[in-house]
Amino acid sequence: MNFKDILSKMVKGKKLNYQEIDYVITNFTNDNINEEEMSKFLIEIYRKGLTFKETLYLTNSMIKSGEILDFSKINKTLVDKHSTGGVGDKITLIVAPIVAANGLGVAKMSGRSLGLTGGTIDKLESIEGYNVNLDKNEFINQVNNIGVSVISQTDKIAVADKKIYALRDKIGAVDSIPLIASSIMSKKIASGANIIIIDLKVGNGAFMKDIKSAKKLAKTMIKIGKKWNKKVVVILTDMNAPLGNSIGNSLEIKETIDFLNGTYQDKRLKTLSLTIAAYMISKGKNISVNKAYILAKETLENGGAYNKFENWISCQGGNLSELKDNAKTLEVFSDKDGYIDEINAEKIAVICNELGSGRSNKRTTIDYGVGIVLNKALYEKVEKDELLATIYYNETNEKERLVEQLKQSFKIIGIKPKEKNIIISVIS
Ligand code: URA
């Protein structure tokens, strides 16, 4: 077997078997196939797609390129969730304690973001003392004792995916159904849980621009899950505005605290959090989604979720009264009366990145205190000169431009817009 013959088969439109796909994945992972060759392989997939069988082979080969976590010592039913990435996405921080307070286990490895805003681990690291690097026994013991632990992802899971994803990004081959499905599912399957709820974002700021392709991706991931005996539910959600009112690492921890203790609950964030928690609880306990939704809501309302959150953070050494939240503020006011019809998630993320909340643009360190708080929510009424948003910054010489840029992220219209449900559909 050699790479040239495999590529030639693809070019001629012939299907690949497992050995051929595994040959390419293994040799690329071990640096025996170079980036130029691998780009040709990925571009063939990007242009022509793969059959389901080939997508499964690709996923299986990527799973075995790294470790498969063994959670057999965990005494709880484990449920996992995954998001394809959103601006202001603090759903893991909210649903993990809700689900754990209902007796299930969340043993989650999350990422530090390389994108415009921080990942879950960056958000947790904005809490003074929080340890993202528990060893395997500490991680398992904590889940057995309190039902939840979130630590930093190891580089040992689905090793091939990391290399392939970086190359896909470089050559512009990200938005391909077989490539996304194999990338997500290889990591999720190797991460050990048998129940996986995927929050698949759809919209202009997401990988999936339209509902039809998102549904196709969802079905592919569910089918791959079935082959591995995993229960997979995919929730298609609207990603045209940030989630919640805060974007930025410590700001999102503050919003999580306010959300869980009932001080402030953004409507779209609440709908999405309770829906994801409900599917995790429903599949974990084998009860109806309606019943699970009621349990999730009760746990939120009776303080059980907040207590679990505090317990989780303190078990990992974190002190919620000490956040890395040092920043100055700049207020942004509305130029006109009307209703908020759009808050452009991507534009907001670009500003947050410039302020220092992510690692994009070769930034290596994160400023945990910076970001944006939206003082008006999507669809809300606003009057001229009312506060629209607040910028949290530490270093900038361009305050006026940032204020103008943030104003441009809001679309304000004269009539009350029709509210879109954040949940587009649920596929299982
Ligand atoms: N998220 C992933 O993990 N992989 C992709 O390819 C796209 C989104």
The 10s digit of each residue's pLDDT in 419-428 is: 999 999 999 9
Residue-wise pLDDT tens digits, 68-115 = 999 999 999 999 999 988 899 999 999 999 999 999 999 999 877 666
Nearest atom within ligand 1 for CA of residue 165:
6
- Ligand 1 atom 6 nearest Cα: 180
pLDDT at 408: 96
Residue nearest to atom 8 of ligand 1 (CA): 84
| 27 and 100 part of one domain | no
- 233 with 283, same domain? yes
Task: Check pLDDT > 70 for residue 313.
Answer: yes
Record the pTM: 0.94
233 and 135 in a common domain: yes
With a 6 Å cutoff on the Cβ, whether 180 touches ligand 1 is: yes
Domain contains 229: yes
Per the residue annotation, which of 162, 187, 188, 231 is the catalytic one? 187
Q: How many domains does the chain have?
A: 3
**Among 65, 83, 152, 183, the one annotated catalytic:** 183
Residue 149 lies in a domain: yes
How far apart are the CA of 130 and the centre of ligand 1, in A?
Answer: 27
Distance separating alpha carbons of residues 202 and 259, to the nearest angstrom? 24
Domain assignment present for residue 188? The answer is: no
337 is an active site residue = no
> Same structural domain for residues 308 and 346?
no
| pLDDT higher than 90, residue 365 | no
Q: Is residue 87 part of a domain?
A: yes
pLDDT band at 361 (very low <50, low <70, confident <90, very high): low
**What's the CA gap between 288 and 290, in Å, rounded?**
5
Domain containing residue 401: CATH number: 3.90.1170.30
Our mutation pick for probing the ligand 1 site, out of 55, 169, 184, 189, counting the most ligand atoms within 8 A of Cβ, is: 184
pLDDT value of residue 116 = 76
Residue 161 in domain: no
Q: Which of 288, 315, 342 is the last residue of a domain?
A: 315
Residue 163 lies inside a defined structural domain of this protein: no
Q: What pLDDT was estimated at residue 362?
A: 58
Q: Do residue 295 and residue 358 come from a single domain? A: no
Instruction: Please give, one letter per residue, the 3-state secondary structure of the chain.
Output: CCHHHHHHHHHCCCCCCHHHHHHHHHHHHCCCCCHHHHHHHHHHHHHHCCCHHHHHHHHHHHHCCCECCCCCCCCCCEEEEEECCCCCCCHHHHHHHHHHCCCCEEEEEECCCCCCCCCHHHHHHCECCCCCCCCHHHHHHHHHHHCEEEEECCCCECHHHHHHHHHHHHHCCCCCHHHHHHHHHHHHHHCCCCEEEEEEEECCCCCECCHHHHHHHHHHHHHHHHHCCCEEEEEEEECCCCCCCEECHHHHHHHHHHHHCCCCCCHHHHHHHHHHHHHHHHHHHCCCHHHHHHHHHHHHHCCHHHHHHHHHHHHCCCCCCCECCCCEEEEEECCCCEEEEEECHHHHHHHHHHHCCCCCCCCCCCCCCCEEEECCCCCCEECCCCEEEEEEECCCCCHHHHHHHHHHCEEEECCCCCCCCCEEEEEC
Indicate which residue's Cα is closest to atom 2 of ligand 1: 184
Residues 39 and 87 in one domain: no
Tell me if 184 CB under 6 Å of ligand 1. Answer: yes
- Expressed as residue numbers, the domain containing 135 is 80-154+195-206+214-315
Confidence bin at 363 (pLDDT 50/70/90): low
Condensed to tens digits (0 to 9), the pLDDT of residues 43-54 reads 999 999 999 999
82 is catalytic: yes
For the chain, the average pLDDT equals 95
Q: What is the per-residue pLDDT across 109-167, written as a single tens digit (0 to 9) for each? A: 987 766 677 889 999 999 999 999 999 999 999 999 999 999 998 889 999 998 998 89
Q: Assess if residue 380 is contained within a domain.
A: yes
Question: 303 and 333 share a domain?
Answer: no
The CB of 117 under 6 Å from ligand 1? The reply is no
Is 161 a catalytic site residue?
Answer: yes
Predicted confidence (pLDDT) per residue in 7-42, tens digit: 999 999 999 999 999 999 999 999 999 999 999 999
Mean pLDDT of 278-285: 98
Q: What confidence tier does 239 reach under pLDDT thresholds 50, 70, 90?
A: confident
Residue 205 has pLDDT above 70, yes or no: no
So what's the pLDDT on residue 54?
98
* 168 in active site: yes
Q: Which of 159, 183, 186, 209 to mutate to test the pocket of ligand 1 (most atoms within 8 A of CB)?
A: 183
Q: Are residues 25 and 150 in the same domain?
A: no
The CATH number linked to 228 is 3.40.1030.10
Catalytic pick among 89, 122, 161, 325: 161
In a domain, 371, yes or no: yes
Same domain membership, residue 243 and residue 116: yes
**Last residue of one domain, picked from the residues 315, 337, 355:** 315
What local confidence, expressed as pLDDT, does residue 111 receive?
78
- Examine the domain organization and report whether 113 and 248 are in the same domain: yes
425: CA distance to ligand 1 center in Å? 20
Active site residue 341: no
Percent over 70 (pLDDT), the chain? 98
Q: Which of the four pLDDT bands, split at 50, 70 and 90, describes residue 208?
A: confident
Same domain, 283 and 341: no
Confidence (pLDDT) at 51: 98
Do both 134 and 281 map to the same domain? Answer: yes
